[in-house]
Each structure stands twice: as structure tokens, then as C-alpha cells.
Structure 1
Amino acid sequence: MRVQLSEVSLEVEASGEGPVVLLLHGFPDDHTLWRHQVRALNAAGFRTVAPTLRGFGASDRPEGGPEAYHPAKHVGDLLELLARLDVDRFHLVGHDWGSGIAQGLASVVPDRVRSLSLLSVGHIGAVRDAGWEQKQLSWYMLLFQFAGLAEDWLARDDFAQLREMLAEHPDAESVIEPLRAPGALTAALNIYRAGLPPEVQFGTDLPVPSLPAVPVLGVWSTGDRFLTERSMERTGERARGPWRYERVEGAGHWLQLDRPEAVDDLLLSFFKEHA
């Protein structure tokens, strides 16, 4: 369904009945990333809300440059969406950039968050402090800062470089297709430009708040070529509430597509612990 908010209109998949689970995707996905989890969670008695974030997929791409895509803008969209859907308390799940946005949302309304599940991407401080191996894996985040250059490099030769980055993505072709629309690739990249400038990525003196005092599940997959296990394990040091760490064997960065049943089971068991 389409939900009109004050600044943007978002595509939202909402289904099921019961306690609410808010599912947030990352770059360069949309809400269909969660289709396996939606089915499993609905069958287990949960109501799922999976929006396509501003700048991605079929949701609006506002003008105004990178600041229109700052993580705080996404948090504002989600608070408004939850109000429109009459959602009070909820379980919160984020993957990739969705993990960062989920952390921001949980920090704003911790009293409404039953649990916080972070897939692939942990706390920014833990990612930043995870050592040289993580910095090497994060090389593309610096490239994405260069407007025009990054778009040209990714889209050249029918998105050859992006295809290489998405080599393990089961939905690579369907993810790339919406990025062909004018302005779509820039909109998707703007979250990096607004939310992860170089001083945030590498400024070790820049203070980063700890996670809010809510139950946190961190999940990392052994085939992730963008994030180290250390970056997720050390997220536990930033947690002020109960912390649980799990690793998923035999899955790449898009673990909810590679090993959906394993991810479903982890989420359901964690929700049961923190009903």
C-alpha cells in the first residue's frame, strides 16, 4: 500500500495481526527484502510493517540534496508512519542501513521498542573501531561520497561495478532495475553522503552514543564481505540493555534471503524472550 506522509509518500507492506514488527531494509533494497520473514512472522502471530524507505524503490525521492536523506529524516518518516498505522510498541529489525536507522529510531523512542535486532551492521562505533580489516572492507563508503563520480562508476557498462558488488545478492537484477530511473541512484547513495561522511567513518575522537537500554540481538553471517564479525561482536560493548549475539553460517550479506529459515528462527526466539 501507499502511505502519504508530510514530506514523502512511501510504499509499505503491512500484514498480519498481533504484536508489531517493523522491518527496515538497507542499500540498495526495498521492502521485498523481508518477504520470507513477513510470511514466517505473520504465521507466528505477528503484524509486520515493512516500508520502502525514502529514496529507494517506488517510494518518493525528495529533492534537496543529501540532507533530504539524512538518517534523522528516515526516523521522522518512521515515527509518522507508526502514528498513521496506530502502532504504539513494536519489535524493531534493521539490515544494513536499516540497522543504522533502527538504532536511531530506538534511541528516540526506547520506551516503545520491545526489542532491537541488528542484522549485518552493528553500532557505528563498533564498526569504526573494528580495525584495519573493516576499514578495507568499507572502501566503497568513501567512494560513495563523491557525487557524480560514484554514480558514473556504478552505472557504467550497464551497472557492471554495482553488479559485482551485488554478486551474492539473490535479487540483484530486480534491485538494479529501479536504479535506472533518473535520480534514483543518487537518491539511494545520498544516505551515505548525509549519514556517513568521512569524519564519522574515521573520526575516532567523535563521540557516539551507546545503544538505548533495550534488548539487542546482533546477527552476522559468515559470508559477509562488507562487515567483519568483530564489528558486530563488539556492538555488545555498546549495549546498555540485554545483549545476544548470533552468527549465521553459509550466508552472505543478504542473510535473510540466503538463509531465511535460520533468520526467522532467530527473530522469533528473540521476540519470545522479550514479548
Structure 2
Amino acid sequence: MIEHHDVELSGIRLHVAEQGAGPLVVLLHGFPEFWYSWRHQLAGLAAAGYRVVAPDQRGYGRSDRPADVGAYTLPQLAGDVIGLIRALGEKQAFVVGHDWGAMVAWAVATMRPDMVRAVAGVSVPPLPPREPQPPLRAARERFGGRFYWNYFETPGVAEAEFGKDLDTTFRRMLFGASGSRPADREPVPPLVPPGGGFLDLAPEPPATLPAWLTEADIAAYVEAFTESGFTGGLNWYRNLDRNWELTAVYDGAVITAPALFVIGERDRAFAGVEAMDAAVATLAPGHRGTVVVPGAGHWVQQEAPERLTGILRDFLDGV
């Protein structure tokens, strides 16, 4: 049974969903999600003999949502995970992340390898070597400000679009980036149309949801974001250039912990097993291989929950 509680860290309070007993596994969600995206893995990994914890990361769900945009940098987000491991009475943990949560997981493994028993990223590989330009500036120049990162930059704009109709927002986002979307809707790169919004990139969701997504799931997302709003999560994107500056000290660093990368076959970021293996192995010499989940899109842990739980269980058990 999932238990919920709050954990007080240094300057931040995180809401946590927890299940099971054994070695600690920390599951980190992405955008726009909250602990609930790991609901299946909480039960599955707990049954396999692990203590599984899925926090609402700062800015999300029932956790604190600092007003300062600068409170959402990658070192701060990684620091939350380190603080959480310690607050739970542990010295080390397995760290698993999806989407933005994967970026945080990779960062924790890079910054504090002594506290990471193993690391797994889902959908997003480790950060590539440092580019000569900050990412938001580079995207702005390359795509004329239409890249979705840049659309998210201006405070209030994406918040207004997403908050107008939460039910529609989550139907379009979750279906639109999933493996269930039509094959002819592949907007790569994701450029927001002139005068349009981010949701224009997603196809119209079907009247009947795909089997992996229920009406109760949509209602859970609507309830969570009615309370939290989107500003906290969007502030993660607004710190991309600041992250580029703050993480310069780690340029060239490698991840020494055993590592695993998992991606959906229909995730827009999937570039083939060999290419992804090579990219991850360069940054994580302990890489155990790239696992591709057939038919899944971006939301792997929700679209193929039993498959991902089994992949993670085998990886963790092997470590």
C-alpha cells in the first residue's frame, strides 16, 4: 500500500509517496507529471523487495513551489534528491528518473557518485558535452524563437494555455507524446506554430482513451495541477541557460555508477539502439545497455508499466 508523507529538507518541503521495504529506490518524475506517474512501479518494485520513494519534485504536486524562478536550477534539484536520501536515513540509493527526472538522476550520479548505487534514465539520456552557447539562446537563434523551450520562457504564456482547460491539456499531452498517437503526427523538431501554442503540436485525442490511460488517470492529473499550477515545472525550463553556467565545473565528467538507459520505440528522441548506446556509454562507462520498449512513446512507465518494472527490477537486482 502506498503511504504519503512530507519530508523537510534544507529550505524545501517535499511530498513523498512510498511503498515497500529494502534497499532504497528513488523515482523522479518529469514534466508535466507528479509522483503518480510512477504508481505502477511503486507497487511492482516494492513487491520485488525494495523501499520505493517517488517525490513530487519541487514546483510540483503537494511539494513546495518557490516563487523565485532561480530556485529551480539543476544543482538545487539534485540537492533535493541528496537531501531526501539522507532524510530517509540512507547513505545511498538507486536513482531512476524519467524525462526531466532523468536529467536530475544523471546529475545526481555525476555530482554525488558516492550516494548513487546505480542510476537509470528513462526517455532522456545523460547531458551531452557542453555546447559553446547556452541552450535557450542557441534554440532561439536556430529556430527563431519557435522551439518549445523558448515558448516556455515567457512567464504566464504557457501557464495560461495549459491552465485554460486542464482536462483537454492532459488528454492532448499524454496521448500526443505516446506510442498510441497517429503515425503521421511527428512534429520534429517541436516548433510552436506562429500565433499558436504548444498543444497545437499534439493530435486531437480520441474519444476513447488508449488502454494504458484511464479517465481516473486524467482526473488525477487535473486534480494535482488544479492545486499546483504549471509555473514550478515551467521554471525548470527557464533555468536551462543558468544550468549551462552552473554545471560548467562538471564538463567532461563521467558517470561511474552502473547505468541503464530505457526509451520507447516511438519516443521522438529515439535515434536507434547503436547511436543511443554509443552516446550514453561515452558519458557513463558503466552503461549496461540501452533497452527499447516496443510500441511505447515518451510515457514509458505508464504506457508499458509491467515491462518497465521488469526492466528496472532486473537492473537493480543485477547491481
Letter in 2 for 1:197: D
Shift of 1:139: 3.0
Counterpart check, 1:50 vs 2:54: yes
Aligned to 1:219: 262
DSSP-derived class of the 1:125 partner: coil
Q: Which amino acid aligns with 1:229?
A: A
In 2, Cα distance between equivalents of 1:120 and 1:210:
21
In the TM superposition, what are the counterparts of 1:194-209 in structure 2 within 5 Å? 194=239, 196-197=240-241, 200=244, 208-209=251-252
Cα–Cα, structure 1 residues 19 and 69, in superposed 2: closer, same or farther, change >3 Å?
A: same
Structure 1 gaps of 5+ residues are none
What is the alpha-carbon distance in structure 2 between the residues aligned to residue 214 and residue 19 of structure 1? 16
Say whether 1:229 aligns with 2:271.
yes
Q: Which one-letter code corresponds to 2:296 in the other structure?
A: A
Q: Give the whole-Å Cα distance in 2 for the aligned partners of 1:147 and 1:208.
A: 30
**1:83–1:43 distance in 2 versus 1, CA, 3 Å:** same
CA distance in 2, matches of 1:158, 1:267: 31
Is the contact made by 1:127 and 1:232 (CA closer than 8 Å) also made in structure 2? no
Percentage of matched positions with identical amino acids:
35
**Alpha-carbon contact 1:210-1:239 (below 8 Å) kept:** no
Q: Aligned partners of 1:160, 1:42: CA distance in 2, in Å? A: 33
Q: What is the TM-score normalised by the length of structure 1?
A: 0.84
Distance 1:157 1:3, change over 3 A: closer
Does residue 249 in structure 1 map to residue 264 in structure 2?
no
Q: CA deviation at 1:32?
A: 1.6
Match of 2:188 in 1: none
Decide which of 95, 99, 110 is 1:96's aligned counterpart: 99
Structure 1 segment 78-227 matched on structure 2, within 5 A? 78-125=81-128, 139-156=147-164, 160=168, 163-167=171-175, 168=178, 170=213, 171-181=217-227, 184-194=229-239, 196-197=240-241, 200=244, 208-225=251-268, 227=269
Distance 2:107 2:306 in 1: 27
Cα distance between partner residues in 1 of 2:295 and 2:130: 22
Counterpart of 1:107, as a letter, is T
Q: Partners of 1:224 and 1:73 in 2: how far apart?
A: 28
Q: Which runs of structure 2 are paired with 1:61-80 in the superposition (5 Å)?
A: 61-64=65-68, 66-80=69-83
CA distance in 1, matches of 2:242, 2:21: 42
Q: Is the 8 A contact 2:159 2:229 kept in 1?
A: no
Per-residue deviation at 1:224? Answer: 1.8
> Offset at 1:199?
9.5
**Contact 1:210-1:240 within 8 A present in 2 as well:** no
> 1: CA distance between counterparts of 2:256 and 2:109?
9
Amino acid at match of 2:156: G
SS at match of 1:61: coil
Residue 255 of structure 1: how far off its partner (Å): 0.9
1:123 and 1:232 in contact (8 A); partners too: no
1:259 aligns to what?
304
Matched-pair contact (CA < 8 Å) for 2:123–2:264? yes
Q: Check the 8 A contact 1:21/1:47 in 2, yes or no.
A: yes
Task: Extract unaligned runs of 5+ from structure 2.
Answer: 132-138, 179-211
The equivalent position to 2:25 in structure 1, one of 7, 11, 21, is 21
- CA distance in 2 between counterparts of 1:47 and 1:58 reads 21
Q: Select between 205-214 and 166-175 the one with higher mean Cα deviation.
A: 205-214
Q: Point out the structure with max Rg over C-alpha.
A: 2
Deviation at 1:163, TM superposition (A): 4.2
Letter aligned with residue 151 of structure 2: L
The one-letter code of the counterpart of 1:228 is F
Any idea what the Cα deviations from partners look like across 1:141-166, whole Å, max 9, x if unmatched? 22111222222233345575564233
- Give distance in 1, aligned partners of 2:316 and 2:118: 7
State the match for 2:11 in structure 1.
7
| SS of match in other structure, 2:76 | helix
